[in-house]
Amino acid sequence: MGFMKKQKLDFKIDPAVFKELLEIQDKLPKMATGTSKPGALHGYDHPAGMALLGLKEGRLDTVVNLAMSGGCWDAPNINHKDFDKGFRKMIESDRIVTGLALIRHPGWSIDRGAGNNDHIYDAKIPTHLKHQIHGLRTAFADITSTVWIILHNSYFRLYRPIKDKEGRVSIREITGHKLFDDTDKKDKLVNKKFESDAKAKIAKIKIREDKKKEKERREARWAAEETRELKRVQDEETKAKAKATQIKIDLDEGKKSIINAGYGLSYVKGKDGKYILWQTGR
């Protein structure tokens, strides 16, 4: 299965978007609201929020928060009426919807044990959202031209749908470097994200190199042990051949009354001058 060559996303992200997402994050309720609305689901604790992302003239600069109708930390539920309100608000602002943002609750990492300084788990896209993106693949003129933001505390990840040659959609994380102007990369949160990613990349490289070195050391030890074992076997074979040769010489000469044959055996010379193989103990 091969993937079609990806065209770069032809827009930039305004860092102000993340300021708005952080404001949404700060206002997320402890329990999901809107459970009495039509099409609502059960409300769970520490729910995630969701917002539409709007684009105009090559700049993603607009966020429209969507009211929840129940849901949980991985899957905020938005009913059709609230989605429609969000789309209408985006149209009124003369923007094109170019993706969505999922804003995780600040308390999610505490409950799930997911938060850490290296951002290994936080802000990762939940499986549920991947399924939702698959369901929305025909809702956009080109799903591969959208971007999906996952925000958790002060860290974010960017995801992009891509298609394989059979038209199947897969969701991939992207670095996002090309989605920000050089001046926008100086924004505190954006800069922190890229610095954190760079450190994580260096750490991964070091871990990979350390594993490679350890593997090389282990293989070198195994090779050295095999060499030693081979030499030991060869030495024993050489000694055994030398001993067998010497025993034959001694037997032919017939001068010794006892010839050590090894392995607790000896050739003992009888009165008739002939040798008898005798067990003499080790």
pLDDT in tens, 126-156: 988 888 888 888 888 899 999 999 999 889 9
- In whole angstroms, give the CA distance from residue 246 to residue 257: 15
Question: What pLDDT is attached to residue 281?
Answer: 62
Q: Which helix (H) or strand (E) holds 169?
A: strand 169-174
pLDDT value, residue 111:
47
Task: Report strand pairing: 155-163 vs 148-152.
Answer: antiparallel
Task: Collect all residues with Cβ–Cβ distance below 8 Å to 8 and sequence separation of at least 6.
Answer: 178
| CA dist., res. 243 & res. 92, Å (int) | 101
Q: Which residue shows structure tokens 């925000």? A: 151
pLDDT value, residue 250: 85
Cβ of 19: how many Cβ atoms within 10 Å?
A: 13
- The model's pLDDT over 60-91, given as tens digits with 9 standing for 90+, comes to 999 999 999 999 988 889 999 999 999 999 99
Q: Mention every residue, 6+ apart, whose C-beta is less than 8 A from residue 42.
A: 32, 35, 70
Model confidence at 120: pLDDT above 60: no
Percent residues over pLDDT 90 in the chain? 61
pLDDT of residue 121: 54
pLDDT band at 107; cut points 50, 70, 90: confident
CATH code linked to domain 12-186: 3.40.140
Nearest to 103 by CA among 150, 38, 41, 165: 150
Q: Is the pLDDT of residue 212 over 90?
A: yes
- Please check whether residue 124 is in contact with residue 157, taking contact to mean a CB–CB distance below 8 angstroms: yes
- List of residues 6+ apart from 69 with CB closer than 8 A: 34, 35, 37, 38, 39, 40, 41, 77, 78, 79, 82
**Confidence band of 253 (pLDDT split at 50, 70, 90):** confident
pLDDT, one tens digit per residue, over 168-188 is 888 999 999 999 999 999 999
Q: Which pTM was predicted?
A: 0.75
> Measuring CA to CA, which residue among 123, 108, 111, 93 is closest to residue 189?
123
Strand 265-269: give its sheet, edge to edge.
Answer: 258-262, 265-269, 275-279
* Mean pLDDT of the residues in the chain: 89
What pLDDT score was predicted for residue 115?
47
Beta strand pairing call for 265-269 and 12-13: unpaired
Q: Is the dihedral of CA 108, 112, 117, 121 positive or negative?
A: negative
What 3-state class would DSSP assign to 99? strand
Residues 100 and 113 sit within 8 Å (Cβ to Cβ): no
